[in-house]
C-alpha cells in the first residue's frame, strides 16, 4: 500500500485522493451538455473521443454546498461499465501514499464519511481517500434511506 | 433455407463442443443434476430445431434421449451407467448426422432403433459393440472435427464480438477525428492539394463505417422470415389453423441478440400453437374465427427492443397454474393466496413447470419457458406474460441493445438538442397553434391531427426547461407507441435525422426515466436520446387497449387550416430567406443548369418545352449541376424563381410589415421567429412575367442573298423565329420576300407562303403599299410579332378543334 500512486484533488476545499489506477485520464472539460431533470450533482454529459462521459460535480455529489472554484480539467474514471468525468476544485498532483488507509476518531462528518474510505497519509500530507461507488451513488440515496 | 440450415449446423456444432465437457463430467458422476440439465437442454434444442427442418431421424433420436433424461429429472429413473451410455451414443450419432447433413451426404440407414432401445436398458442392445466412443475419445475427436470444419469451403468466419466492438469504436473515433479535421480545413480555407485526398478519405471512411455497422446489425426479418413456415408446419401437425402476422421486421439488432432470441421465440410460438390456440371446432364453438391469429411484432424503444407475441387462443388458466405450482412445491398454498393473477401467470417461467396434460412432440414439457427466461436474463433481457381467459395470451420480451445504431431525429427544446428514435415518429407537423387546434384542458394539451384529438406534451415542459407556455409555432412530432397509442410532442425545431450510435447512460441519469441513452452528433457534441415509451408512460398516455381515438373532427380541422394564408418558404441565392404566397406556386421544378440560357439580358430556362423567364439567379456562374426552381404563375404568365433551397409551406400568421424601400418585397414577416421577405407577386409579374413561349418557334423563310442571311436573319431570330429553308417551310411558315420577287411570283402564279412580309428597298413607301422598308426595324418587328400572334392563335384554334 505504501507505494500506491494517488491523484490528489481538492474537493470543496478539502484535500482528497483517488487511486491513480482508477483514474483513466485527466481531460480538459469541453462543452458540457446539461441533462434536464437529472439530479443536481450530475452536471451533464461531455464527449471524450467517441465516448460520452457523465460529468459529476463532486462537491454536490458529496452534498457539501458552497461556491467553489472549478478546475478546467476533470478526472476520468470508469465505474460499473460507465465512464465519468469528475469536476473538482482542482487537480493537484500525483503522489505516492505514505501509509495505510486509516480512520480517525470522530469520523469526517456525515457527508464526508459516506464517500471516504478513510484517511491516507501522502507525500503531500494527509488526504481523504474517496470511495468511488459511494461518490457516484449521489447524496439522495442517503436521504432516501434515512 | 440454406442459410438457416448452415446456422442450424453451426449452432448444433457449437453446442456439441460446449456439451463435450458436460458429457465427461456427467459420465463421471451421473447424479450431477446441473450436468443433466445442460445435456437435457442440448437434446431439447436439437429436437426443436429438427422439427423445423424435417430431419425425422434426428428428431426421433433427440426425442428419445429427452424422454429418458426427463424421467431422470422428474426422479422417475436413476441416472445409471446404461442411461449415460445410451445418451452419449445418441449425442455421438447426432454429431455424425450433422456432419453428413453438412456434407450433403446420406447418413447410412438403420441403427437408430438400437440406440433408442439402449436408452431403456433393453437387453437386446448388443453389449459387446461399444455404442459410443468414450467421452475422452469424443473430445479428442473434436480436433478432428474442427479440422473437417476448416477443410470445408468456408466463405464465412465467426469472430468474437469484442473484436467487432473494438473495430466499431475505432471507426467511430476515426469519424470524429475526420470531422475535427474537416472543421480545421474549412477554417484554413481552400487547399486543393489537401482537399482532394481528404474527400477520398471521407468517402472511404463512410464506406468502412457502413460495412462495420452492417457487420454487427441484422434486421430481425432474418429471424421472422423463418416463422411462417414454422407456424404452418406446427399447425398442420397439430390439426390447427393458425395465421401469423409479423410486424416490425425492419427493426435492426445485434446479430448476437438475434441468435439469443431465436430459440426463445421458437419455444413461445410452439407453446402458443400447441397449448394456446384451440382446434378449429373448439374455436367455432366459442364464437371465434376458425383460424387462430398469432401476431408477432418487434419494436425498438430506446436501447431496448420489445417483441410481443400475442395469440388469440384460450388464454392461461390461472387456477390450473396455481394448483400446479402448489403441487410441485413452487409456492405454498398460503403464498398462492396472497398472489395476484399476474404473479401466478408468471410462475410458468419457473424451472420444471408445465401445465400441458399430455406431452407432445411439439412443445415438450414446459422446459422451454424456464430456458427461455434463463437465456433472456443472461443477456439482460426479460420476459413477461399477460393473458385474458378465453381471449388470448401475450408474451412480451424485452431485449437490450448493448450496442445499437438506430435511426433518430434530433429536435430542439429549451435551447438544447435531444434525439428521438425514428421508429416512433409517425409524422412531423408544422403549423400555427391555431391550425393545429392546440387547446389546453386543465394541465394537459390536445392537438387535432387528421381529425383526431391527440394528447400533446411540450418537450420543454416535460424536461423542465420551459414553463409550459405553448410556442406560437410549435413543431409537432407525432409519435406512435408500440401499444398503438398516438401522441404529439411539441418541440421548438427539428434538425436532421440520421443514424445514431446509442450508448448507455450512467445509472443515476437513467433513474430519471426520461432518457434511453446518449449519442454523439457528427461534430462530437453529446445528445441525450429520449425514452419515448417511458415519457408517455409517466404522463399516463399508454392505454391498455389499442388505439384510443377521441372522436373524428375532420371537417373542423380542414376549416381551421383554410383560414390562414400560406406561403412557400425558401432561401434564395443571395442567402435571403424569402417566401412567396402559396397560391402562386404551381410546382417546384428541378432543372439542369444546361437548360438555363443566360446569354440574353434576361435569363431564360427551358421547362417542358417552354421557354420561360427566370429570375433569382446569382451573378456568379452556377456550380451545381441542377437548380431548384419555383414555378410561379399569375394565371396567364409564368416565371421561374431560382432558389438555393426550398424549405416548406408555412402559414402566414404574424403581422406583415410593409417594406417600401424594396419594390420587390410585399412585406416582411416572422416565420418561426426569423424574419422572412414576402415577395410582391404583383411587382414580380409586372417586371418579369411573360406568356410562356412555345419552344416550338414560328418559322420563317428568308429571301435569298447575303444581306438576308447576315443582316435580316439575326433580327428575325431575335424576334423569336426559326429560320428555315424554303423547301422545308411547310404551311405555317411566314415568308419574307422582297417586293420585286413577290410581284414576279404573284404574276407567274408561283406558290407563295400563306403569310408574307414584303420588303422594299426605298425608305419612302409608295401610296397604299403593304411593304416595309428593309431597314425599318420597328415596322419589321411589329409585322413579325403580328404574324407570330396570328400563327399562335391559329395553332391554338387547330389544337382546340382537334
The pLDDT of residue A86 is: 92
User: Given A37, A49, A54, which is nearest B506 (Cβ)?
Assistant: A54
% of chain A at pLDDT higher than 90: 12
Is B789:B734 a contact under the CB 8 Å cutoff?
no
Q: Which residue has the higher pLDDT, A17 or B125?
A: A17
Of B175, B414, B526, the CB nearest to A33: B526
CB contact under 8 A, A82 and B507: yes
C-alpha cell at B647: 424549405
The whole domain housing A127 covers: 5-145
Would you state the pLDDT for residue A84? 92
Cβ contacts of A138 on chain B, cutoff 8 Å: 508
For A41, name the nearest residue in chain B, comparing CA atoms only: B508
- The verdict on domain B404-555 having CATH code 2.40.50.180 is yes
Among B414, B416, B504, beta carbon nearest to A82:
B504
User: Nearest Cβ partner of B526 from A36, A38, A45?
Assistant: A45
% of chain B with per-residue pLDDT over 70: 79
Q: What is the mean pLDDT of residues B73-92?
A: 77
Q: How many CA atoms lie within 13 A of A54 on its CB side?
A: 29
Q: Which of B169, B509, B525 sits opposite A38 (nearest CB)?
A: B509
Per DSSP, which regions of chain A are E strands?
5-11, 14-19, 23-28, 42-48, 51-57, 73-79, 82-87, 90-96, 116-122, 125-130
**Inter-chain CB proximity A36 and B505 less than 8 Å:** no
CA dist list (Å): B771 to B122, B757, B758: 125, 7, 5
pLDDT at B724 over 70: yes
pLDDT of res. B151 = 40
* B578: β partners: B570, B677
- Distance (Å) from the alpha carbon of B522 to chain A's nearest alpha carbon: 10
Read off the C-alpha cell for B268: 413461445
Q: The domain B2-151: what is its CATH number?
A: 1.20.120.160
- For residues B4-27, give the mean pLDDT: 73
B3 vs B71, which has greater pLDDT? B71
In whole angstroms, what is the distance from residue B527 CA to residue A45 CA? 8
Cell, residue B372: 427461455
Mutate to test the interface with B, among A50, A81, A83, A141 (most CBs of B within 10 A): A50
Q: Which of A39, A45, A49 sits opposite B173 (nearest CB)?
A: A49
Least Cα distance to B419 among B297, B352, B567, B518 occurs for B518
Cα(B437)–Cα(B696) distance, integer angstroms: 50
Any idea which fold B696-801 has? Rossmann fold (3.40.50)
The pLDDT, as a whole number, for residue B794 is 66
Nearest to A82 by CA among A55, A116, A43: A55
3-class DSSP assignment, residue B165: helix
Which pLDDT score, from 0 to 100, does residue B711 have?
79
Domain count, chain A: 1
| Residue B317: φ, ψ to 5° | -95, 105
Reported ipTM: the value is: 0.85
Higher pLDDT, A40 or B378: A40
Put simply, the answer to whether A50 touches B176 (Cβ < 8 Å) is yes
Closest to B266 measured CA to CA, from B248, B244, B292, B288: B244
Among partner residues A31, A36, A84, which is closest to B506 by beta-carbon distance? A84
pLDDT, averaged across chain B: 75
pLDDT at A114 over 80: yes
CB–CB of A36 and B514 under 8 A? yes
Query: Which cell is B542 given?
Result: 399508454
| pLDDT given at position A3 | 62
The C-alpha atoms of residue B433 and residue B421 are separated, in whole angstroms, by 25
State which H helix or E strand residue B45 sits in. Answer: helix B33-53
Alpha-carbon span B741 to B748, nearest angstrom: 11
CATH number for the domain spanning A115: value is: 2.40.50.180
Q: What is the mean pLDDT of residues B706-715?
A: 79
Task: Output DSSP code: residue B424.
Answer: G
Q: Which residues of A touch B526 (CB under 8 A)?
A: 33, 45-47, 52
Read off the pLDDT of each residue in B219-240 and give the average, rounded to a whole number. 82
Specify the range with the lowest mean pLDDT, choosing from A81-85, A100-104, B636-640: B636-640
| Chain A interface with B: residues with Cβ < 8 Å | 31, 33-39, 42, 45-47, 49-52, 54, 80-82, 84, 136-138
Range with lowest mean pLDDT among A38-52, B170-184, B360-374? B360-374
Chain A residues touching residue B509 (CB < 8 angstroms): 35, 38, 42, 45, 54
Domain at B564-693: CATH architecture: Beta Barrel (2.40)
Which CATH number, 3.40.50.1000, 2.60.200.20, 3.30.565.10, 3.30.160.150, labels domain B221-400? 3.30.565.10
Contacts 24+ apart (CB under 8 A), B83-87: B83/B30, B83/B119, B83/B121, B84/B26, B84/B27, B84/B30, B85/B118, B85/B131, B85/B132, B86/B115, B86/B118, B86/B119, B86/B120, B86/B121, B86/B131, B87/B39, B87/B43, B87/B119
List pLDDT tens digits, range B660-677.
777 778 888 887 777 888
Answer whether B525 sits within 8 Å of A45, measured CB to CB: no
pLDDT at B799: 47
Least confident of B322-331, B477-486, B537-546, B774-783: B537-546
Cβ within 8 Å of residue B244, ≥6 positions away: B227, B228, B231, B294, B295, B296
B387: its cell numbers: 393473458
Highest-scoring range by mean pLDDT, A120-129, B493-502, B681-690, B781-790:
A120-129
Residue B558 clears pLDDT 70, i.e. is over it: no
Enumerate the residues of chain A whose CB falls inside 8 A of the CB of residue B518.
45, 52
Query: For residue B728, what pLDDT is reported?
Result: 67
CB contact under 8 A, B512 and A50: no
Residue B441 — pLDDT band, cuts 50, 70, 90?
confident
Of all residues in chain A, the one with the smallest CA distance to B173 is A50
Q: Determine whether B756 is exposed, middle or buried from the number of CB atoms within 10 Å of its CB (0-12, 13-18, 19+).
A: middle
B722 to A28, B394, B772: CA distances (angstroms) = 72, 76, 20
Structural contact between residues B209 and B201, judged by C-beta atoms closer than 8 angstroms:
no
DSSP B547: -
Q: What is the mean pLDDT of chain A?
A: 83
- Top mean pLDDT of A70-79, B302-311, B541-550, B682-691 is at A70-79
Residue B140 pLDDT exceeds 50: no
Residue of B nearest to A49 (CA): B173
Is residue A143 scored above 70 in pLDDT?
no
Lowest model confidence (mean pLDDT) among B77-81, B266-270, B691-695: B691-695
Distance CA B488, CA B452 (A): 11
Mean pLDDT of the B736-748 span: 79
What is the per-residue pLDDT for B144? 39
Q: What's the average model confidence in pLDDT over B179-184?
A: 77
Greater pLDDT, B642 or B709: B642
Q: What was the pLDDT predicted at B303?
A: 60
How close B593 gets to chain A, by Cα (Å)? 41
Question: Which alpha helices (DSSP H) does B391-489 contain, by range?
Answer: 459-462
Chain B residues with CB under 8 Å of A85 CB are none
Q: pLDDT tens for residues B102-133?
A: 777 777 777 777 777 777 754 444 444 444 44
Return the pLDDT at B798: 54
pLDDT recorded at residue A85: 92
Query: In chain B, which residues touch A (CB < 8 A)?
Result: 169, 172-173, 175-176, 414, 416, 463-465, 501, 503-509, 512, 514-515, 518-520, 524-528
Q: What dihedral do alpha carbons B463, B467, B473, B475 form, nearest 10°?
A: 10
pLDDT at B387 over 90: no
Nearest chain A residue to B510 by CA distance is A38
Q: What is the mean pLDDT of residues B592-618?
A: 79
Contact call for B519 and A52, based on CB within 8 A: yes
Residue A47: which of B416, B509, B524 has the nearest Cβ? B524
Amino acid at each position: 500500500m505504501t507505494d500506491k500512486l494517488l491523484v490528489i484533488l481538492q474537493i470543496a476545499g478539502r484535500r482528497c485522493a483517488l487511486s491513480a489506477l482508477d483514474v483513466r485520464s485527466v481531460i480538459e472539460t469541453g462543452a458540457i451538455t446539461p441533462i434536464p431533470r437529472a439530479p443536481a450533482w450530475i452536471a451533464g454529459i461531455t464527449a471524450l473521443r467517441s465516448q460520452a462521459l457523465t460529468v459529476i460535480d463532486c462537491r454536490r455529489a458529496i452534498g457539501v454546498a458552497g461556491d467553489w472554484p472549478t478546475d478546467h480539467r476533470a478526472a476520468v474514471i470508469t465505474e460499473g461499465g460507465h465512464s465519468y468525468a469528475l469536476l473538482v476544485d482542482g487537480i493537484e498532483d500525483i503522489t505516492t501514499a505514505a501509509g495505510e488507509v486509516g480512520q480517525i476518531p470522530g469520523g469526517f462528518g456525515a457527508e464526508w464519511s459516506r464517500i471516504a474510505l478513510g484517511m491516507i497519509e501522502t507525500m503531500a500530507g494527509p488526504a481523504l481517500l474517496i470511495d468511488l461507488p459511494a461518490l457516484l451513488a449521489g447524496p439522495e440515496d442517503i436521504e432516501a434511506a434515512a | 433455407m440454406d442459410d438457416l440450415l448452415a446456422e442450424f449446423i453451426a449452432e448444433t456444432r457449437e453446442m456439441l463442443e460446449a456439451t463435450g465437457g458436460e458429457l465427461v463430467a456427467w459420465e463421471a458422476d451421473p447424479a450431477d443434476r446441473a450436468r443433466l440439465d445442460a445435456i437435457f437442454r442440448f437434446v431439447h434444442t436439437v429436437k426443436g430445431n429438427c422439427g423445423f427442418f424435417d430431419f425425422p431421424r434426428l428428431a426421433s433420436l433427440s426425442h428419445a434421449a429427452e424422454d429418458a433424461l426427463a424421467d431422470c429429472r422428474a426422479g422417475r429413473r436413476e441416472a445409471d451407467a446404461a442411461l449415460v451410455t445410451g445418451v452419449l451414443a445418441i449425442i455421438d450419432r447426432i454429431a455424425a448426422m450433422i456432419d453428413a447433413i453438412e456434407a450433403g451426404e446420406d447418413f447410412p440407414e438403420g441403427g437408430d432403433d438400437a440406440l433408442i432401445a439402449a436408452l431403456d436398458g433393453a437387453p437386446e442392445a448388443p453389449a459387446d459393440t461399444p455404442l459410443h466412443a468414450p467421452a475422452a475419445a469424443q473430445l479428442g475427436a473434436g480436433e478432428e472435427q474442427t479440422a473437417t470444419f476448416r477443410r470445408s469451403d468456408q466463405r464465412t468466419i465467426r469472430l468474437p464480438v469484442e473484436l467487432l466492438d473494438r473495430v466499431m469504436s475505432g471507426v467511430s473515433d476515426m469519424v470524429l477525428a475526420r470531422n475535427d479535421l474537416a472543421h480545421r480545413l474549412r477554417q484554413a480555407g481552400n487547399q486543393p492539394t489537401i482537399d482532394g485526398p481528404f474527400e477520398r478519405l471521407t468517402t472511404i471512411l463512410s464506406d468502412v463505417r457502413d460495412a462495420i455497422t452492417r457487420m454487427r446489425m441484422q434486421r430481425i426479418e432474418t429471424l421472422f422470415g423463418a416463422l411462417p413456415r414454422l407456424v404452418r408446419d406446427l399447425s398442420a401437425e397439430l390439426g390447427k389453423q393458425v395465421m401469423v402476422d409479423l410486424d416490425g421486421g425492419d427493426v435492426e439488432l445485434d446479430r448476437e441478440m438475434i441468435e439469443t432470441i431465436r430459440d426463445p421465440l421458437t419455444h413461445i410460438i410452439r407453446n402458443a400453437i400447441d397449448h394456446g390456440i384451440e382446434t378449429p371446432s373448439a374455436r367455432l364453438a366459442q364464437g371465434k374465427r376458425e383460424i387462430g391469429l398469432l401476431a408477432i411484432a418487434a419494436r425498438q424503444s430506446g436501447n431496448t427492443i420489445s417483441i410481443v407475441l400475442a395469440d388469440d387462443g384460450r388464454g392461461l388458466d390461472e387456477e390450473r397454474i396455481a394448483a400446479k405450482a402448489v403441487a410441485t412445491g413452487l409456492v405454498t398454498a398460503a403464498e398462492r393466496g396472497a398472489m395476484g393473477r399476474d404473479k401466478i401467470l408468471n410462475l410458468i417461467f419457473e424451472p420444471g413447470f408445465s401445465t400441458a396434460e399430455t406431452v407432445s412432440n411439439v412443445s415438450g414439457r414446459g422446459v422451454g419457458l424456464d430456458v427461455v427466461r434463463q437465456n433472456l436474463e443472461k443477456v439482460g433481457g426479460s420476459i413477461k406474460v399477460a393473458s385474458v381467459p378465453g381471449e388470448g395470451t401475450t408474451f412480451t420480451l424485452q431485449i437490450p441493445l448493448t450496442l445499437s445504431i438506430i435511426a433518430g431525429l434530433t429536435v430542439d427544446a429549451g435551447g438544447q438538442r435531444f434525439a428521438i428514435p425514428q421508429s416512433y415518429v409517425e409524422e412531423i407537423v408544422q403549423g400555427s397553434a391555431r391550425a393545429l387546434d392546440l387547446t389546453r384542458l386543465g394541465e394537459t394539451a390536445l392537438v387535432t391531427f387528421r381529425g383526431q384529438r391527440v394528447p400533446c406534451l411540450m418537450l420543454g415542459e416535460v424536461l423542465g426547461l420551459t414553463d409550459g407556455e405553448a410556442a406560437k409555432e410549435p413543431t409537432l412530432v407525432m409519435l406512435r407507441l408500440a401499444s398503438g397509442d398516438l401522441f404529439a410532442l411539441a418541440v421548438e425545431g427539428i434538425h436532421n435525422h440520421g443514424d445514431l450510435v446509442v450508448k448507455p447512460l450512467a445509472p443515476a441519469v437513467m433513474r430519471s426515466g426520461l432518457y434511453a441513452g446518449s449519442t454523439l452528433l457528427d461534430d462530437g457534441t453529446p445528445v441525450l436520446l429520449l425514452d419515448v415509451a417511458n415519457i408517455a408512460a409517466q404522463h399516463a398516455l399508454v392505454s391498455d387497449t389499442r388505439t384510443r381515438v377521441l372522436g373524428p373532427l375532420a371537417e373542423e380541422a380542414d376549416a381551421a387550416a383554410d383560414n390562414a394564408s400560406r406561403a412557400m418558404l425558401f432561401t434564395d441565392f443571395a442567402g435571403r430567406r424569402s417566401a412567396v404566397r402559396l397560391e402562386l406556386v404551381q410546382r417546384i421544378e428541378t432543372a439542369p443548369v444546361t437548360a438555363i440560357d443566360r446569354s440574353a439580358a434576361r435569363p431564360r430556362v427551358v421547362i417542358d418545352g417552354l421557354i420561360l423567364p427566370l429570375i433569382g439567379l446569382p451573378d456568379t456562374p452556377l456550380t451545381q449541376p441542377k437548380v431548384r426552381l419555383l414555378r410561379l404563375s399569375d394565371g396567364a404568365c409564368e416565371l421561374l424563381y431560382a432558389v438555393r433551397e426550398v424549405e416548406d409551406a408555412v402559414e402566414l400568421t404574424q403581422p406583415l410589415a410593409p417594406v417600401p424601400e424594396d419594390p420587390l418585397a410585399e412585406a416582411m414577416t416572422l416565420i418561426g421567429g426569423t424574419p422572412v421577405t414576402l415577395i410582391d407577386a404583383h411587382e414580380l409579374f409586372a417586371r418579369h412575367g411573360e406568356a410562356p413561349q412555345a419552344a416550338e418557334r414560328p418559322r420563317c423563310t428568308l429571301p435569298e442573298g447575303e444581306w438576308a442571311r447576315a443582316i435580316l436573319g439575326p433580327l428575325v431570330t431575335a424576334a423569336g423565329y426559326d429560320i428555315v429553308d424554303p423547301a422545308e417551310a411547310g404551311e405555317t411558315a411566314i415568308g419574307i420576300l422582297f417586293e420585286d420577287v413577290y410581284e414576279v411570283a404573284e404574276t407567274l402564279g408561283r406558290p407563295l407562303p400563306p403569310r408574307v412580309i414584303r420588303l422594299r428597298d426605298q425608305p419612302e413607301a409608295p401610296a397604299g403599299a403593304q411593304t416595309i422598308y428593309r431597314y425599318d426595324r420597328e415596322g419589321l418587328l411589329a409585322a413579325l410579332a403580328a404574324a407570330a400572334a396570328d400563327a399562335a392563335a391559329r395553332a391554338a384554334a387547330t389544337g382546340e378543334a382537334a
